[in-house]
Structure 1
Amino acid sequence: MSQGRNTNPVSSQSSRLFNELQGEATTVAKEAGSAFLSLAWLWPIRGLVFAIIHPQVILSVQGALVKSLGSSAILFAVLAFFTYLPQAALLSVVTGFLGPVLAILLLGAESIFLLTFLAKPLLLEPALQHVFDSTLISRGQLQLVKDGKTKFASVTDRTGALFRPLQALSRNGVATYLLTLPLNIIPVLGTISFVCINGHRAGPGWHARYFQLKGFDSHRRLEFVKTHQAEYTAFGVGALVLSFVPIIGLLFTFTNTVGAALWAADIEAKSNIIGGPSVGNETAKTK
């Protein structure tokens, strides 16, 4: 009894997080082959290409984009001024001549981490939602967007805790991100592990708007993610790698959103070819 009362909640929480992290690392290792072969990591690249060919999709939120890039440049400059040399020196001791290069990549990871909290609530979420919807419409999914905004608005509002594009940096995601950040000290393998673990966690968040438009409740959403977990891991890894590019990494958050919407449109198109009502409509009818 007394031992139960004296249990340190912080220690218990830390132990739980480490166990979760170990479990995620094991899962990522097991599904690495399937994730790579799924080719879902190409969707962020396709999103970038689509945005270049159809710049109006991104330029429709140019105000938020300019503010985000400005904030990114300022924050990166501040971090570089105060932390680059110490980090480069530390990494040079461990990795040798790769230290200065890895320090730049680490600065990119740190800046995107901080910008999530500074820019996300005011700039990113509304703009990314608009980009996602615009991309879907451009790919012939106007009805999905219209139905999602009318039929399922109240349903998604009730479910709460929806996946979001930058969900990896939610409360538990922050802990995972910070715990895995030192992995970058290990040359190559450590950085790969860092990207894979955080990409695995972040992947489903890029379809937050898709789940919302489909009217998925939390159970149906988790079921769908479980069925496509390898693909979401691959997408999350591809998206995370692009977002770490110094200064312009935040720009890729927008093109990654385009890629996620293109993937969602592809899922919808394939479900229509196969025939029958879409899985979202089936879910709605059972309510």
Structure 2
Amino acid sequence: MASRLTERAQEVAKEDFDHAKVLINDAARSGSYLYPIKGIFYFISHPDLWKPLRSKLLPYLGLYSGVLGSLFFLTYLPQLAVMAFVSGPFAVVTTALLILNESATITTIISRNYLLQDAILDTFDGTLVAKNSTQVVAEGRELKARGDSIQRLGKALKRPFSRFSVKELVRYVMYLPLNFIPVVGTVAFILFRGRSRGDAVHDRYFQLKGWAPPRRSKWLKDHKGSYTSFGTVATLLEMVPVASILFSFTNTVGAALWAADIEAKESEMAGGTAPGLREAAKKAE
């Protein structure tokens, strides 16, 4: 009996290792984990993309301060009591860090679904315009002939970003206790959040392309490693207290840069190739 369990455990471990290796190879080939970093530098070097952020900065800081103050007042002592069992004398520091993480995450969830929704949309579309992907953007909004990448954005004809997701909140609450496990639990929490974050980074791009849900799901499944690695880096950046709003916008820029590169590769592949042959080539890969 014991030998069977050991063999079964080894098989499961091997399957998980092989699966993880595939995901890592996918992420490494795509370089997706670099796009959040590229987004920072691109954002800094293109002041026209700062406009949506500037318009929401003060309301966001007010929201963040309210969430942070409420969590410290209501949850610090209860969480300190729990952390004392796993962190010992370091519980005071680890509890404070945990609350900073919680406040940044909760603020991000709320702000992205309400306060920052239009600004994030403009930043994504504006970055695509700056990267000369105007044909894609034109599928979802009116574009003006003159101005910088933000000034050219007209009325949005399609809005992909959904309002507050109960599922997202439930998933966050489910994974939150992992932070009570030192190191390993926090890493697992970040990876789970990264996978969820990654699945949503190209919602706008998929909508502009007119992809149906089955095609979106297949694309995300085929590139799970790439999107998980992007989402993990993005999550780490957005966990930084106060600066999380800045990284929300730079991550959006990074996602748009990635989408622009995907679009450019697709255009190169499409040159002189019939749609039917392209589909056959994709299936053969």
Q: TM-score range by the shorter chain?
A: 0.7 to 0.9
Which of 172, 175, 190 is residue 177 of structure 1 equivalent to?
A: 172
Which of 21, 24, 32 is residue 33 of structure 1 equivalent to?
A: 24
**Residue in 1 aligned with 2:35?**
43
Q: What is the distance in 1 between the residues matched to 2:117 and 2:274? A: 26
Letter aligned with residue 79 of structure 1: L
TM-score by length of 1: 0.74
- What percent identity do the matched residue pairs reach? 38
Give per-residue Cα distances to partners, 1:18-38, cap 9 Å, x unaligned.
Answer: xxxxxxxx6985655336524
| 1:1-287 aligned within 5 A | 29=20, 33-34=24-25, 37-38=28-29, 39-96=31-88, 98-116=90-108, 118-149=110-141, 164=161, 170-276=165-271
How much does 1:129 deviate? 0.4
Letter aligned with residue 25 of structure 2: S
Give per-residue Cα distances to partners, 1:135-179, cap 9 Å, x unaligned.
Answer: 1111111121113337xx88x78xxxx5x4x99x73223222111
Q: What is the distance in 2 between the residues matched to 1:148 and 1:40? A: 25
The 1:101/1:261 distance shift into structure 2, 3 A limit, reads farther
The 1:180/1:121 distance shift into structure 2, 3 A limit, reads closer
Q: What is the distance in 2 between the residues matched to 1:138 and 1:104? A: 40
Unaligned segments of structure 2, at least 5 residues: 1-15, 143-155, 280-285
Q: What is the distance in 2 between the residues matched to 1:108 and 1:267? A: 35
Q: What is the distance in 2 between the residues matched to 1:110 and 1:184? A: 10
Count the aligned residue pairs. 246
Q: CA RMSD in A?
A: 3.1
Secondary structure of 1:76 counterpart: helix
Q: What is the distance in 2 between the residues matched to 1:239 and 1:103? A: 23
Give per-residue Cα distances to partners, 1:223-249, cap 9 Å, x unaligned.
Answer: 211121110111111111111112222
Contact 2:104–2:240 under 8 Å retained in 1: no
Q: What is the distance in 2 between the residues matched to 1:104 and 1:246? A: 11
The 1:271/1:245 distance shift into structure 2, 3 A limit, reads same
TM-score by length of 2: 0.74
Secondary structure of 2:241 counterpart: coil
The structure with the largest alpha-carbon Rg is 2
Contact 1:105–1:246 under 8 Å retained in 2: no
Letter aligned with residue 106 of structure 2: L
Letter aligned with residue 135 of structure 1: T
Secondary structure of 1:147 counterpart: coil
The 1:120/1:33 distance shift into structure 2, 3 A limit, reads closer
Letter aligned with residue 111 of structure 2: A
Secondary structure of 1:216 counterpart: coil
Greater mean alpha carbon deviation, residues 208-217 or residues 39-48: 39-48
Give per-residue Cα distances to partners, 1:20-76, cap 9 Å, x unaligned.
Answer: xxxxxx698565533652432221121122212223212344112331133213322
Contact 1:242–1:249 under 8 Å retained in 2: yes
